[in-house]
Amino acid sequence: MADRRMYGFSLIEMMIVVCILMIMGSITFISLQPALRDAQMNAAYDTVLSQLRMARQRAIEERKQYIVCFGSASQPTGAATPLGAPTASSIQLFRWDVGTAPSAAVQISNVRLPQNISFQTLAGFPATAPDQWGTGTTAIDFDQGVAGGNKKQVMFQPDGASRDMLGNLNSGVVYIARSGSLDSSKAVTVFGSTGRIRGWRLIKVVPGSTRKWIQQ
């Protein structure tokens, strides 16, 4: 005969507990989405910044030329691409030894931005671009003021300066954004004569209205 003093949970009680836990989990997941999206954008920004700074530093330390190609930028003519073809959200790094042909450039890395983030401009970007490079309408906009240059790549020299493949000083800006997420957008600029690299973020001057770039 069963001991009436022994108790347990009924199936209905267990189902109620499981439902409550599922609801709480869903609420937590939804509330974390903005933070996760911000973390992704920060990771993309850090990736762009670190790749440029690493290229410049290695160019100075090794007395070589380092080329950073953004998005679908073509690599140095004839250079091999063992680490994968470029995509709209990739950053490729090449080492080009001084005095050698472009075909001798060696690919060092091929890094991709986090999912759903790419090099792009969005409606609402201010006409005054970071460091006043361009008009905020071209996602990868280097070789400012140079006719016929490749606007999607920069080449750091042993003296730290940024030039293009033709030897011109190469200044410009690259924008990082998620479609439909204007206020999380970021940018990175390069100043040709010194190779200075700066990061930027977009902020609202007036809530729901004017925006501007500020250095991050």
Nearest to 170 by CA among 153, 188, 148, 187: 153
The pLDDT of residue 157:
95
Nearest to 88 by CA among 121, 55, 66: 121
Q: Which region holds residue 189: left if phi is over 0, alpha if psi is between -120 and 50, else beta?
A: beta
The pLDDT of residue 160:
96
Q: What is the pLDDT of residues 60-71, one digit of tens each?
A: 999 999 999 998
Average pLDDT of span 137-144? 93
> CATH: 3.65.10.10, 3.55.40.10, 2.60.40.420, 2.60.120.460. Which one for 45-215?
3.55.40.10
Nearest to 201 by CA among 126, 92, 111: 126
The pTM (predicted TM-score) of the whole model is 0.80
The pLDDT of residue 188:
97
pLDDT of 57 strictly over 70: yes
Tokens of 86: 């470029």
pLDDT of 32 strictly over 80: no
The pLDDT of residue 10:
73
The pLDDT of residue 89:
86
The pLDDT of residue 28:
67
The pLDDT of residue 7:
60
Q: What is the pLDDT of residues 110-123, one digit of tens each?
A: 999 988 899 999 99
Assess contact for 95 and 65: CB atoms under 8 A.
yes
